[in-house]
Each structure stands twice: as structure tokens, then as C-alpha cells.
Structure 1
Amino acid sequence: MVSSKMQRISITPRSDWQDKCDEVGFHFYELDGLYWNERVCYQFTSEQIDEIEAATQELHELCLEAVDCIVSEQRYQQLSIDPDFFELCCRSWTREDLSLYGRFDLAYDGVNPPKLLEYNADTPTALLEASVVQWMWLEEVFPDADQFNSIHEKLLAQFQTIYENSPPQGKYLHFTCERDTEEDLGTVEYLRDLAMQAGFETKHLYIDEVGWDSHRMCFCDWEYKPIKLMFKLYPWEWIVDDEFSQFLLNEPMQLLEPPWKMILSNKAILPILWELFPDHPNLLPAYFDSSPLRHPYISKPIFSREGANISIYYGDRTYQTPGIYQDVPVIYQAYFPLPEFQGCYPVLGSWVIGGEAAGIGIREDRTPITQNTSQFIPHYFI
């Protein structure tokens, strides 16, 4: 355990920071107001970074053990996964289908061990800003300092690994996301550029442009080119509900993230992790019902995004966030308050790429639950 809090420091923004962001394809820095905020930054010590990195790697290994348990014990009902799609998960896990990335959301104050809040294992964003943008900021603002950030290099290396392990027909990689979502498009285009550097031919198409060819029994793009391998910034639980989802069960194409990540992107993994590894220093108590927990505790829909439909139960009052997931099953987790710095609450997004801890990005909000109104804050360590 380290002995001093991480520091939140006020600094002067670069005069041309908007231009610098635009140069690397980061155009959504004013998403819902000011999103990229370099008026402040977080400072860590090397010991704190070592602790974050070690915790991230440890959590990744625990998650893999949990998937193995869930698959072997056929625990799909706890995750509310359709049995046919759970079988798809099992085949994907047994084949050891390659994964690209994931992001643990951690509560950390620099003194106590990092605590896992949830795992964004399927469609994590805040990627371009965590990799290229904050590294560029570091080189200009704190050139003598360091940053926990090998995200870009590890993404490229993992795309190269995926390329080398793909059959000839899989050397063409489609990328898809929803329309009218600037953040998703920026993330996908960044990843597509890395994939091209790794050797892939690529094409972008929106999710509504993915079609099914009933004659050739394959998915195809708008030019009727078969889709054999596709990166999707589109959640697995939405895919399962799609009218074409049943065609995926025969696996006419491979997807990134692979089907087995459906298990880890489900917040039901949190009580299963606590069951398998009780009292682990990087886990919070979590259950499928609230009775073992004391106030305050929190409920989370097992499928949800951006802090939506989360409730904190204080005993005499309840704090709730709005959202569209009110009819989704929930899990219950001990409430672990985020550290507070000048009225701001940071969450560390700690990246796992190709199975290795790769760096952090920090989002902070002015509420105890990080939502889509949060700001991204760069960091460095000394």
C-alpha cells in the first residue's frame, strides 16, 4: 500500500490544444460541453502506477478464471443470456478466440487498493483520448515526466496478432458502429487506422448497413462483399435482440469482441467474481440480492451504459440516475465512494489489451456516479 494521495493539479491549457486534438482525429473534445479538460491533471507516483498496473493484471486473470467457471458450470441463467447464445460463448471460449481490448473502471485514491466498479469488456470507449491524445499532451506539457500509457503500441501489436492468426478470407476487416455518434465513429476510425497499419484491408460501414444474403448464407456490406471478420462498437446484448441475430449462431463471420466477451461485459460477473474470490482486495462485495449488504449499497442493471439506472441506497434516502434500462435485471454491490477532489469524483479506466495491462484514462464527474456528462482528465507520474 502506498502512503500519499494522488494529486489533482490546476494547470494552464495549451493555447492550440483544439488544433492538436483535431490533428489526430479527436474531434469530440466538446462532447456535451467540455469533455477534454486540460485545465487540470492528475499526478501519480511511480509506486501508485505500479499498484494500478498490478491490480489490473490481477483482475484480468480473475475474470478469465470466472469465465472458465461459468462455461464449465453452464451458469447462463445468472447472466440472463439466451441458451443458444451461451453455447456460442462456450464454443468461442473453447477455441480461445482472440480478444482485442477491455477497460476496468476502478475507484482509487492513491492510498487504498484499487477497487473494481465494473468491467467494460465489450464496447469500451474513451480510447483515442487515453492513448494518443493524452500522450501528446504529456510530451508537450510535462516532457520530463512519464505516463502509464502503452495503449497505442499494444493495440497495434494485438491487431498484428489477430492478422497473423486470421485465415486468408479474414484479412479483410470491416468496422461498424451506430450512426450519429461522433465518439463511437472517432473510436472506430482510430482502431481502423491501427488495423490497416497491422496489414488488414478495411472498410467502415454503419450497423444498419450490415445485411444478410440468404442465397450465399453470409453477412455482407452495401457492396455485397461478404463480411468474414468485423469489429463492432455495438454491444452484444443489442445484437442478440436483433432480427438477424439467429444467423450468427452458425458463425458465418467472426466478431471483435468475440462471443465469450458477452460473459464479461455483463455486470452479473461482479457477484460471481465475489463468490469465487471473496475478500479479494481489488473486489467489492456483490450479490444477486441485496440482503447480505448493509447500507449504503448500490444496484446496477446487468446490461447498461454510461452510469444509467444506477441507484445508491443510503437507508433513509435513495440516489438514482436516469436511463433506459429500468426493466433489466440488476445486481447489488457494496457502495465504495469515489475519492473527491475539489468537488470532482475521478474514475480510473484501466485498459487491458491483448491480455496485458496497458494504461489508464481518467474521467471525472461532479456526481458520485460517472455518467455521460463526465470530463476526461490527462495524467502523468513522477
Structure 2
Amino acid sequence: MKRHTIEPRPGWQAIVEQQGCIYPLTRYPDGSLRPYWDESAYYEFSLPEVEALEEVVEELHTMCLAAAAHIVERNRFAELGITQPRLVSLVAESWRRRDELPTIYGRFDLRYDGTGPAKMLEYNADTPTSLVEAASPQWFWMEDRFPGADQWNSLHERLVDAWRKQASLLPPGPVHFAHSAGDDLGEDLMTVAYLRETAEQAGLVTQALSVEEIGWDRLSRRFVDQRLRFIRSCFKLYPWEWLTTDRFGPHVLETLDNGGGTGTTCWIEPAWKMLLSNKALLAILWELNPGHPHLLPAYLDGPRELAVEGGYVAKPLLGREGAGVTIHGAGTAPLVREEPCCYQGFAPLPDFDGNRVVLGAWTVEGEAAGLGIRESSGPITDGYARFLPHVIL
């Protein structure tokens, strides 16, 4: 794994916008615009490195499924903040019927510097973004700059194949694709639009709408779209913890289809993904697999020995893009926050020329499918992180 600087292509911004990354710049607090899509540098990997990382990702996914089974079997939902009895029952039923429910993708965030074992930082298994730039612009960048090279990137083909294989699990009618209208950057919009495109290439009939446009028909007690058609299946880039707690949350639980035709709306990703997108999973993984080379020690009741040995990171159970994450060095007084958190061993992100890097390893149907790389200037990967392409040489 090496970082190289390179001259960006002339007109790079217009190029990547045409390829779906309509948010190539990030506005900083001082009002300046700086590249989010950053092709002034790239990362080089060897094929053996990528093959080893693929094995790590699939091993971690298998471990996460085993942890989800443990949570359900031992009724440990409360540790994830899932306490509503009806929701607990529905998530457990979703897990038991998981073979009857469509599930498409997820993204592991890994710490890796090319020398030691990759370490799992978290699993974004419900609403991961940065998919568009990983699947499309980075592939075309490689074809422009390194013709004949390769890339860890089979995302598009695997997504189309996943929709095709799972079409039989979907109810009749169009598959609705929903994003939140509150998305100012267009990232959620384009992520949903891209996934919709892969579904259409698989032969599915689709319909786009925003979450805010989903209606509730009091007479039929079903969700409907703008044309008053029943929403029988819906891919939503809208976290489950929001979906089940907003104003229409009770209707979501009332009409949830967990397979077997018991409900009226099949949501993608399914409800059992709540078990994998929660940071409490990190602590349960460590409990079940202590000392595993691809895990960091993690606890829910406090930092324990981490406050003395190496330091720790406190992560809200449902935080996103680094929100609420705090770093505590070794030797600091242990601090247990009021909000539920996961306390994970501090593993400083690799530093390449002053850039802190995180690998986003994508899964499709639980199999390793591609890589997206984000860099940040500070120790936490936040909303100002940059996306850099990679190549296998």
C-alpha cells in the first residue's frame, strides 16, 4: 500500500459530475470550497494485499452475522438501545426470516497501513454512502490514468446481480427508492439513484421518491406513493432508528413485512440490519472473539483497561461521519459518558504524508466487492474527509 501524488486530469470536476459524483467539492467553515473527490493523489496496492483484505472482509462479515445471532438468542437488544418490545420482536423475527428478505450491501471501515493486520473500526450495514464514487468515477479514473491496470472494484456487476438474484423475494409492483429531501449535498440522492439504476439493469421496475413524499392511507392502512399506489417494497437511504421513531414510526412497525406475507411493506435494508449498524456490535464482537487480530478491544460499560493501555475512542452507538466521537489518550482518567457509547481501543489512523486514511471495504450480499478510500487531515474521519481513488499495479 503506497500513496502517490499525481496531476489531476484537466476538467476533472466536470468529468466526475457527469459520472454521478455531483458533490465533488466540500465547503469548509471558512467558506472555501475544496475537493471532496481528490485525484491529486492515489493509492497503489498489490494483488496479494487486495486478496488478503478480501478474506478479512468476508471473515468479519461472518463474525458479524454470528454476533447478530447471539444478540437475538440471548435477548441483548437493550445493550443496542433497542428497548421497545414491539420493535424487539420485529427485529428478532426479521433475523429469523433473513433468508426471505432482500439485503444488498454494506461497508466496513478498516484501519490498514500495508504492514500489520487490518483492524475493523465499524460496519455501516444499513445506510452506507460513498458508493457512487467507489463504483463509477474511480473506475473511469483508472481507465483514463492507468489503462490496463486493475482495481478492487466489482461493485456495479455485483449490485446488478444481487438485484437479479433477489427479485423473487420482492412483492409484486415497482420497487420504490427513497432518499431524504433534507440531503443538501445530493449524496443521498445520487446514491439512491445509482442503486435504482442497478436494479433497473437487473430488470426490476422502479419508482423514485423522497421519504418525505411517502404517504399514509388511513383507510387501507398502507403506505402509498404520490400516485396513491401501495408501497410494497422500498429501498430507503434512511436509518432504521429514524424510520421507527419519527411520526410514522408506529405505522412502519404495524405494516413491516418480515417475509411470509405477514406485512405490507418490505424495506431494504431489512430490520435485522439494525443489529450490524450499531456500534454496540463492536463490543459484542470483542466479547465473542477476544484477541482476534482483526478486531480492536471494545466495551459498553466504560473504557476499562483501555484508559491506561493505549487509550480509547468513545463512539455514540448510532453516530455517523465522526459525529460525537472523542479520543482519549492513555493515562487519562476514564470517562463514562451519559449517552450510550462504545469504548473502543485507540488505533491511530495511518499517516501518509500528513493524511489520515481509512479503507472503506464494500460488501454485496455479504461478499467483498470493492474499495473506497477516504482521507482526513485530523485523527477522526468526518464530513470533511476526501475520497481518493486507488489502483492495483
Report the TM-score, using the length of structure 1 for normalisation: 0.93
Q: Secondary structure at the match of 2:123?
A: strand
Alignment match, 1:88: 90
Q: Does 1:196 align with 2:231?
A: no
Aligned 8 A contact 1:71 1:90 in 2 = yes
Alignment match, 1:278: 290
Report the count of equivalent residues: 369
5 Å-filtered alignment, 1:316-327, equals none
Q: Secondary structure at the match of 2:220?
A: coil
Aligned 8 A contact 2:170 2:266 in 1 = no
Alignment match, 2:190: 186
Aligned 8 A contact 2:37 2:388 in 1 = yes
Residue 60 of structure 1: CA displacement? 0.5
Residue 123 of structure 1: CA displacement? 0.4
Residue type of the partner of 1:177? H
CA deviation profile, 1:236-281 (whole Å, cap 9, x unmatched)? 1111211211122232201111000011001000000001111111
Residue 378 of structure 1: CA displacement? 0.2
Q: Secondary structure at the match of 2:91?
A: helix
Alignment match, 1:321: none
Aligned pair in 2 of structure 1 residues 327, 174: CA closer, same or farther (>3 Å)? farther
Q: Does 1:292 align with 2:305?
A: yes
Separation in 1 of the partners of 2:135 and 2:175? 22
Residue 16 of structure 1: CA displacement? 2.8
Residue type of the partner of 2:4? I
Separation in 1 of the partners of 2:171 and 2:321? 36
Q: Structure 1: where are the runs of 5+ without partners?
A: 1-5, 319-325
Q: Secondary structure at the match of 1:349?
A: strand
CA deviation profile, 1:14-69 (whole Å, cap 9, x unmatched)? 11322321222221111333100001000111121112111101001001111111
Residue 98 of structure 1: CA displacement? 2.4
Separation in 2 of the partners of 1:177 and 1:168? 21
CA deviation profile, 1:112-148 (whole Å, cap 9, x unmatched)? 1110001111000000100111010111101132111
Q: Does 1:29 align with 2:24?
A: yes
Separation in 1 of the partners of 2:357 and 2:380? 10
Residue 287 of structure 1: CA displacement? 0.5
Separation in 2 of the partners of 1:64 and 1:317? 34
Match of 1:312 among 320, 324, 327: 327
Aligned pair in 2 of structure 1 residues 152, 64: CA closer, same or farther (>3 Å)? same
Match of 2:379 among 368, 371, 374: 368
Q: Secondary structure at the match of 2:271?
A: coil
Q: Does 1:303 align with 2:314?
A: no
Runs ≥4 in structure 1, deviation > 6 angstroms?
Answer: none
Residue 74 of structure 1: CA displacement? 1.1
Residue type of the partner of 1:27? I
Residue type of the partner of 2:296? L
Aligned 8 A contact 2:129 2:188 in 1 = yes
Separation in 1 of the partners of 2:148 and 2:305? 49
Residue type of the partner of 1:379? H
Separation in 1 of the partners of 2:195 and 2:177? 9
Aligned 8 A contact 1:76 1:83 in 2 = no
Aligned 8 A contact 1:287 1:331 in 2 = yes
Aligned 8 A contact 2:361 2:372 in 1 = yes
Residue type of the partner of 2:250? Q
Q: Structure 2: where are the runs of 5+ without partners?
A: 28-33, 257-263
Alignment match, 1:263: 275
Separation in 2 of the partners of 1:92 and 1:157? 23
Alignment match, 1:63: 64
Separation in 2 of the partners of 1:162 and 1:30? 36
Residue 165 of structure 1: CA displacement? 2.5
CA deviation profile, 1:198-245 (whole Å, cap 9, x unmatched)? 122212111111111110110111221110100110111111211211
Separation in 2 of the partners of 1:123 and 1:242? 17
Separation in 2 of the partners of 1:95 and 1:184? 28
Separation in 2 of the partners of 1:287 and 1:128? 33
Aligned pair in 2 of structure 1 residues 10, 297: CA closer, same or farther (>3 Å)? same
Aligned 8 A contact 1:295 1:313 in 2 = no
Residue type of the partner of 1:71? V
CA deviation profile, 1:79-130 (whole Å, cap 9, x unmatched)? 1113321211111111122211000000000111110001111000000100
Aligned 8 A contact 1:271 1:285 in 2 = yes
Residue 292 of structure 1: CA displacement? 3.2
Aligned 8 A contact 1:303 1:328 in 2 = no
Residue type of the partner of 1:363? R
Q: Secondary structure at the match of 1:168?
A: coil
Q: Does 1:8 align with 2:23?
A: no
Q: Percent of pairs identical after alignment?
A: 44
Match of 2:364 among 353, 356, 366: 353
Residue type of the partner of 1:314? G
